[in-house]
Amino acid sequence: MKNLIAITLKETKGYFSTPSAYIVGTMFLVLTGVFFVFDVSKPFAEAGVRGLSDWASFFIVFLAPLITMKLLAEEQKLGTLELLLTSPVREWEIVLGKYLASFLMLLSIQSVTLYYVFIVYFFGNPDTGPVISAYIGLVLHGAAALAIGMLGSSLSGNQIISAVVATAILLIFSFINRVSSLVEGNVAEFINALSMNSRLADFSRGIIDLSHIVYFLSIVGVFLFLSIRSLETRRWR
């Protein structure tokens, strides 16, 4: 546990002391900001964050892998993984410690978007329920995206490859529901169940479904587990 905290603190410090995380954060805020403005400038715009949260979760697909890509890939490239793995540290402590740091990073980026919420409340009278549920959805989706990014980072010593692999997996999980119209019955239902987008839509409509929460947490669990296994097998190659 102490190891985990030490790793989380080191990585969090790393995020805030290097420019890359600020660049990613700025990109995210600019993009969501632009689409927020479009959304609220429409005639008869709804006072809410539905448009904002839809766009935010879309951009997370591309930005989460940029946040996580260096976490394990850089260790492999620099060779520092050799020192980490020959210290009395368990693989799960490394993966979980780094994951928590990336999650804190994402939370701090997402929390800046609360500024838009403030604007909506200042100029309008939104329904608070959907705002809260949309943010729960955003955080859960972000957590899942980071876990997938973590696996990408564990697979290669090259950060670009790590990010591309993670983005590809995320895109599949996001848009697989488009395929479901091509098939029928149970298969279509199964494909729909796998998709992140159909679940996110519920959150932004104000629906907090327990199965959706379980789904996103399962993605986190499965992909962190795979990352740990991937790190363990690096020893054996």
Partner 1 sequence: MIEAIDITKYYGDFPAVTGLSFSVEQGEILGFLGPNGAGKSTTMKILTGFIPPSSGTAKIAGFDITEQSLQARRHIGYLPETVPLYEDMNVRDYLSFMGQIRGMAKPQLHQRINEVIELCRLGEYRDTIIGKLSKGYRQRVGISQAILHEPDVLVLDEPTIGIDPIQVVETRQLIKDLGRDHTLILSSHILPEVSMICDRIIIIHEGQIVAVDDPGNLGTNLAGVERVEIEVKGPNREILPVLERVDGVQSIERMSVTGGAYHRYHVTVDIGKDLRHDLAKIIVEGGWELLKLQSLGMSLEEIFLRLTIEEEELPNNSGAVS
* Residue 79 binding partner 1, by CB under 8 A: yes
Q: Which of 22, 34, 37, 80 binds partner 1 (CB under 8 A)?
A: 80
Work out the number of other CB atoms within 10 angstroms of the CB of residue 82: 11
Q: Which of 27, 89, 201, 222 binds partner 1 (CB under 8 A)?
A: 89
Query: Please, what is the minimum distance in Å from the beta carbon of residue 232 to partner 1?
Result: 11
- Find the binding residues for partner 1 in span 116-175 (CB under 8 A): none
Q: Which of 1, 2, 182, 211 binds partner 1 (CB under 8 A)?
A: 2
Cα 96 to its chain centre, rounded Å, is 15
Cα 237 to Cα 228, 230, 232, 233: the distances in Å are: 15, 11, 10, 7
- Nearest CA to 142 out of 88, 103, 108 is that of 103
* Residue 14 binding partner 1, by CB under 8 A: yes
Query: Please, what is the minimum distance in Å from the beta carbon of residue 74 to partner 1?
Result: 9
In the complex with partner 1, the residue whose CB is nearer, 3 or 192, is: 3
* Residue 23 binding partner 1, by CB under 8 A: no
H or E, element range at 14: helix 2-17
Query: Total number of residues binding partner 1 (CB under 8 A)?
Result: 24
- Nearest CA to 112 out of 35, 71, 56, 69 is that of 56
Rounded to whole angstroms, the Cα distance separating 22 from 20 reads 5
Rounded to whole angstroms, the Cα distance separating 212 from 182 reads 24
* Residue 90 binding partner 1, by CB under 8 A: yes
Q: Which of 37, 78, 168, 183 binds partner 1 (CB under 8 A)?
A: 78
Query: Which residues are near partner 1 by CB under 8 A?
Result: 2-3, 6-7, 10, 13-14, 17-18, 78-90, 235-236
